[in-house]
Amino acid sequence: MKQIERYIFGRIATIAFWAAALITILALTTQVLIRVDVLTTSGSALATFVTLAASLVPKMLLVVAPFALIIGIGRILTTMNDDSELVVIEASGASNKFIVKPVVFISVLIGVLTIIIANFVAPPAARMLYSTISNANTDIISIAISSGGFQKIEDDLYIQVSEKLAGGEMNGIFLSDRRDPAAELLYYARSGAIVKNDDVNLLVMRDGQVHRGTGSDDQTSIINFSSYALDLQSFVPSSPEAALRPAELYLDELLNPETVANADRNWERFYAFQIHNRLSSWLYPIAFGLIMVAFLGRAQSHRSDKIHLVSTAVVICIVVRLAGGYALEQTETVPEAVYFAYIVPIATILYFSMIIIRGRQIKLPKFWVKLGEASISLIEKLFNRQNTKDRGVGLA
């Protein structure tokens, strides 16, 4: 790259990086708050938070990175236009490739990173996410033991410990298990402790009783014991997380699901979506980069023209992404729709590449410009009216 190309590349990369970081943090905060129950039922909330956040980042980046690229390119090219840098480049007789080349390079780079994340980073991250959720369900036993009150583990399964002593000892253990109507179980023990034996957590109860009800004839049998051990894993809520979902499978596993012993067969209808989403996602950053440089890669003499070009370019990027996403969603019912998932971004790339190669400057239709001006004028009027109201309230 020449010096001017490195200059443009570096500025776009910096803005895109910080935009991706900030948007990812905001989205990550929202996603973690949605899963706040995982944190509150975890014995180690900080470690769970870090693990949960790390497992969500790859999925966030797949969505955020292309739009962070739009922000980076749009910001730098409009700034260069405002500072007359684009005018100087054109006046010097330099080719438009000095603008196009760094934009295309960073777009391809983000496209490559996208396909790497989608196929090699996101699947293990998804497995870590579901494992974290599952471990949080296991930790609920420990929380119940230290809470001193009744704790619901799942429907018809409760545990209560009256007192936790030093050294892990517990007094007054009560456990109610009514998940099986044909065999209702009540455990009571004066004392007990959690003992780990060969990676198995056992709740060892001492000096207690087991009340077993048949449910059908209202008969109850009582068994006294001096020592009784229960595997805590049997009290972890059963869920399909143990079986691998489509997001957790690698590309070769999605292509050959019969080779994956623990794949969840209930999700097979989503395999096609996952496969083509991962194989087509890298095309969108390239399409977005070409759209932005086709609209903003030349000097604009009027401020209003620049605003309309930026907004139009962003709208086209969003429409292209929505069209490709819609085509992917239809693959479940219309398999032929998968072709449009590739046709939409590839057609966009070819069309705007031709515009750039021919050196054409995009001119917006007059009706679109007038519509944009009317929208801006309306927003300004509403904003000014609200400011007037706020000042009036302040004076009152």
Q: How high is the pLDDT of residue 372?
A: 64
How much is the average pLDDT of 136-152?
60
Q: Is 201 domain-assigned? A: yes
pLDDT tens by residue, 112-121: 999 999 999 9
- Rounded CA gap, 321 and 185, in Å? 55
Q: Is 277 domain-assigned? A: no
Query: In this structure, are residues 139 and 43 in contact, taking their beta carbons and an 8 Å threshold?
Result: yes
Residue 237 has pLDDT above 60, yes or no: no
Comparing 134-138, 236-240, 266-270, the range with the smallest average pLDDT is 236-240
- CA-only gyration radius of the chain, Å: 30
- Rounded CA gap, 390 and 383, in Å? 11
Phi-psi category of residue 207: left, alpha or beta, with phi > 0 → left and psi -120 to 50 → alpha: left
Q: Is 158 domain-assigned? A: yes
- Confidence category of residue 339, pLDDT binned at 50, 70, 90: very high
pLDDT tens by residue, 296-323: 888 776 655 677 888 889 999 999 999 9
- Confidence category of residue 153, pLDDT binned at 50, 70, 90: low
pLDDT tens by residue, 258-301: 877 777 666 777 888 899 999 999 999 999 999 999 998 887 76
Q: Is 185 domain-assigned? A: yes
Q: How high is the pLDDT of residue 241?
A: 44
Is-above-0.85 flag for pTM? no
- How many structural domains are present in the chain? 1
End-to-end Cα spacing for the chain: 61
How much is the average pLDDT of 202-213?
88
What are 347-356's contacts with CB under 8 Å, separation 24+? 348/287, 348/290, 348/291, 348/320, 349/283, 349/286, 349/287, 349/290, 352/287, 352/290, 352/291, 352/294, 353/290, 355/294, 356/96, 356/100, 356/290, 356/293, 356/294, 356/297
Q: Is 255 domain-assigned? A: no
What residues make up the domain containing 165?
A: 141-238
Q: Is 279 domain-assigned? A: no
- Confidence category of residue 100, pLDDT binned at 50, 70, 90: very high
Query: In this structure, are residues 228 and 205 in contact, taking their beta carbons and an 8 Å threshold?
Result: yes
Q: Is 157 domain-assigned? A: yes
Q: In the 8-state DSSP scheme, what is residue 263?
A: B
Q: Is 151 domain-assigned? A: yes
Highest mean pLDDT among 32-46, 139-153, 355-369: 355-369
Comparing 32-36, 161-165, 178-182, 344-348, the range with the smallest average pLDDT is 32-36
- Rounded CA gap, 249 and 263, in Å? 8
More confident residue, 101 or 390: 101
- Confidence category of residue 239, pLDDT binned at 50, 70, 90: very low
Sheet of 157-164, strands arranged across: 151-154, 157-164, 170-177, 184-197, 200-213, 220-231
